[in-house]
Amino acid sequence: MTRAPSGPKSARSEAKDYRAYSFWLETAGEELAPRPSLPGPVEADVAILGAGFTGLWTAYYLLAQDPSLKVVVLEAEIAGFGASGRNGAWCSSGFPVSPGELQRRFGREAARELLLEMRGAVEEVGTVARAEEIDAQYFRGGQLRVARGPSQLPAIEAAYESLLRLGLAEDIRVLDAHETAGRVRITDARGALYNPHCATIHPARLARGLARAVERLGGEIFERTPVTDYEVGGKSPRLVTDSGEVRASTIVLAGEAYLARLRKLRRQLLPIYSLIVLTEPLSEERWAEIGWEGRECVASNRYTVDYLSRTEDGRILFGGRGAPYHFGSRVKDEYERHEPTHQMLRRTARDWFPVLEGARFTHAWGGPLAVPRDWMPTISYDPSRGLATARGYTGQGVATANLSGRTLADLILKRQTAITGLPTVDYKQRPWEPEPLRWLGARYVQHGLMKVDDNAERTGEPPTGKTLAERLGKH
């Protein structure tokens, strides 16, 4: 997999092999031939930047509710090119800000409502995939948050307690080591928290299928059309491209980490790379040793984040953070491969499942996710400026983007619903510090949290939560 670096301005001239960007894009079940680019200036009711889950769900719900709207989506590459076509396959009710922190910031009721809506979003993704006949391989296996080693047990208990305080623990179960091994055999697993509100999906099939559903509803998607700037206020908001402007009553910025490439948004989000390795399909003998028949999404409690899923064709996907932040919030294709991190992921996968010794890892890829200054995503709409956006999912965006799409559609159509009152709506994200402070801070926290994790694993003592890195990276 060799790829040339690209930016919003250069994408159009390159003929890219989009299948090489992830296992999911490779197995999307189609050639990934780009749709036509924007032919020239266009007028629309709603113009959306980005054909990932956020942009596509927004277009989908707008058109489903008001088929008379002219909705135009501009995508720099192809639908599903970004994180939506490359992720860990979790469609999870997990939210970037922890339940306890949500309660502290917004109060019990608001936190509870938001988390209930996240559970609803997991359901809704499956419902729409079925209704639109999208072969998204949606499988509701739930989620296991595993305590690997004694140092991680208190985190499991604390997570359960915070859901209990919110009255959301009814179907959540704390499993002991024996019960955990009954589901999946992971070395040194001391227990786990089981949460049924999680499914696995085939991300690229979902994104590509959604794009077709949007078109069936009358939406127009122009691919290989990078937006180089946007204007709001004045007579008409617009998205600016090299082939002309799209003027609309409302523009929607749905580019997640890639938004940092736009000058006006450079400090809004911190692009962080999450990387993934994937095994070959494993033999029945190997699966017999591992178990994992329930195909739950699995993670441990490391600050530095790991996430696993079992694919429909019997592979293990092992993802994690650890790739370094790049100065100036730069986003480039070449950052998606960071051999030390990919090697660490392969090593860790074998450590979790010693039976993987000798098994081949066939794929390695990555992509940028977007971290807002205080980890809180925003779903906002300013009618006076004709500007809408949803962003900042910190790697938990599959189900969240569905909630964003429904919320933005309601806001733009001026419908007051249960979701338009959630604390995510019109949440004002603080900008990140200017460089070089941003780089220094991000690298310090990345390095510091890794040290805290390693130390906890080595000593068996849980993290104190008091180190500077933990306090800065707390969410």
Ligand X SMILES: Cc1cc2nc3c(=O)[nH]c(=O)nc-3n(C[C@H](O)[C@H](O)[C@H](O)COP(=O)(O)OP(=O)(O)OC[C@H]3O[C@@H](n4cnc5c(N)ncnc54)[C@H](O)[C@@H]3O)c2cc1C
Using CB under 6 A, pick the residue from 77, 124, 220, 306 that binds ligand X: 77
What is the C-alpha to C-alpha distance for residues 341 and 293, in angstroms, rounded to an integer?
Answer: 28
Contact between 82 and ligand X by CB under 6 A: the answer reads yes
Choices 48-56, 120-128, 355-363, 427-435 (CB under 6 A): range interacting with ligand X: 48-56
Computed on alpha carbons and rounded to an integer, the radius of gyration of the chain in Å comes to 21
Look-up of token digits 């359901």 = 123
Does residue 367 contact residue 86 with C-beta atoms inside 8 Å? Answer: yes
Among 25, 32, 76, 442, binds ligand X (CB under 6 A): 76
Does 230 contact ligand X by CB under 6 A? no
Distance CA 134, CA 83 (A): 19
Query: In the bound complex, what is the minimum distance in angstroms from residue 366's beta carbon to ligand X?
Result: 5
Min CB(92)–ligand X separation in Å? 6
Helix boundaries (H) for 262-330? 284-290
Nearer to ligand X, 58 or 152 (CB): 58
Binding mask 83-122 for ligand X (x = CB under 6 A): xx-xxxxx-x------------------------------
Q: Which is nearer to ligand X, 88 or 473 (CB)?
A: 88
Closest CA to 381 of 357, 407, 358: 407
User: Residue 327 Cβ, how far from ligand X at the closest point, in Å?
Assistant: 19
Secondary structure, 3-state, 218-245? CCEEECCCCEEEEECCCCCCEEEECCEE
Q: Which of residues 231-290 bind ligand X (CB under 6 A)?
A: 254-258, 274, 276
Annotate 105-129 with three-state secondary structure: HHCHHHHHHHHHHHHHHHHHHHHHH
Closest CB to ligand X among residues 95, 149: 95
Task: State in angstroms the smallest separation of the CB of 357 from ligand X.
Answer: 25
Binding mask 296-335 for ligand X (x = CB under 6 A): -----------x-----------x----------------
Candidate residues 32, 49, 221, 456; the one interacting with ligand X per rule CB under 6 A:
49
Q: How far is the CB of 438 from ligand X (least distance, A)?
A: 19
- Is residue 51 a contact residue for ligand X (CB under 6 A)? yes
Does residue 52 bind ligand X (CB under 6 A)?
yes
Length in residues, the chain = 475
- β-partners of residue 389 are 253, 380
Query: Cβ 228 to ligand X, closest distance in Å?
Result: 7
Separation CA 81–CA 21 (nearest Å): 8
From residue 264, how far is each of 228, 253, 369, 385 by CA, in Å? 11, 12, 18, 15
Six token digits for residue 319: 């993802």
Residue from 367, 386, 423, 473 in contact with ligand X (CB under 6 A): 367
DSSP string, 125-175: HHHHHHHTT-----B---EEEEEESGGGHHHHHHHHHHHHHTT--TT-EEE
Per-residue mark of binding to ligand X, 392-421 (x: CB under 6 A): -x-xxxx--x--------------------
Minimum Å gap between C-beta 34 and ligand X is 12
Peptide bond into 436 cis (omega under 30): yes
Distance, CA of 404 to CA of 407 (rounded, Å): 5
Q: Quick one: which H or E segment has residue 350? A: helix 339-352
Nearest CB to ligand X, comparing residues 199 and 445: 199
Least distance between ligand X and beta carbon 322 (Å) = 12
Task: Please report how close the Cβ of residue 458 comes to ligand X at its closest, in angstroms.
Answer: 27
Name the residues that contact ligand X, by CB under 6 A: 8, 49-55, 74-77, 81-84, 86-90, 92, 226-227, 254-258, 274, 276, 307, 319, 366-369, 393, 395-398, 401
